[in-house]
Amino acid sequence: MHRSTSDPPEHGSQKRDVVVILARALRELGEAGRPVAASRLAGEAWWALRDSDERGAQRINGVMHYLAGLPEEPGPSDDERTDPMADPELDVRNEVPMRRHDLILGRYGDLGAGEGFVLVNDHDPKPLYYQFAAEYPDKFTWDYLESGPEVWKVRIGKP
């Protein structure tokens, strides 16, 4: 629906429009061979929207999952790995998708310095990595232990 210049703008509508445009731009950036840059920006957008616009945050989360499927080099990992066998597992495969990130972020929040856990998932949790990077820059470790095709295991820790 096209709005004339004399119509007063609807704040919620404008916000939705901006999120739609942002989602499209992020997809195009990823498809242009810059999926890591697009994913980092998407993580920041998700972080900015998560408390104020749940619907917009969900849309950006969907874009992050799309970007995770684009070809790129392996994701970043920490050179200082600890023994993953000593860390408890958090298996989210049977959780509803909307609840997974809250569980994972909650578990991370409960960690003390030097502690970690092994995330078990049914898809590459790369979008989650970018959410962590936006929320906890340089304050987490991320090590792939197993990379599909049916099970992904990632050790997430606090340095």
- Contacts of residue 140, defined as CB under 8 A and 6 or more positions apart, other chains included, come to 108, 132, 156, 157, 158, 159
The tens digit of pLDDT for each residue in 93-149 reads 999 988 898 899 999 999 998 899 999 999 999 999 999 999 999 999 999 999 989
pLDDT at 85 over 60: no
> Bridge partners of 83?
none
**C-alpha–C-alpha distance, residues 151 and 18, integer Å:** 35
Q: What is the CATH number of domain 84-157?
A: 3.30.110
Q: Pick the residue with more confidence: 100 or 7?
A: 100
Average pLDDT over residues 9-32: 85
Alpha carbons within 13 angstroms on the beta-carbon side of residue 150 total 0
Mean pLDDT of the chain: 85
Phi-psi region of 158 (alpha: psi -120 to 50; beta: other; left: phi over 0): beta
Please, which pLDDT band fits residue 79 given cuts at 50, 70 and 90? very low
Angle among Cα 127, 36, 28 to the nearest 5 degrees reads 95
The ranges assigned to domains in the chain are 11-68, 84-157
Which uninterrupted H or E stretch holds 96? none
pTM: 0.60
| Strands of the sheet with 116-121, listed across from one edge | 89-91, 116-121, 152-157, 141-147
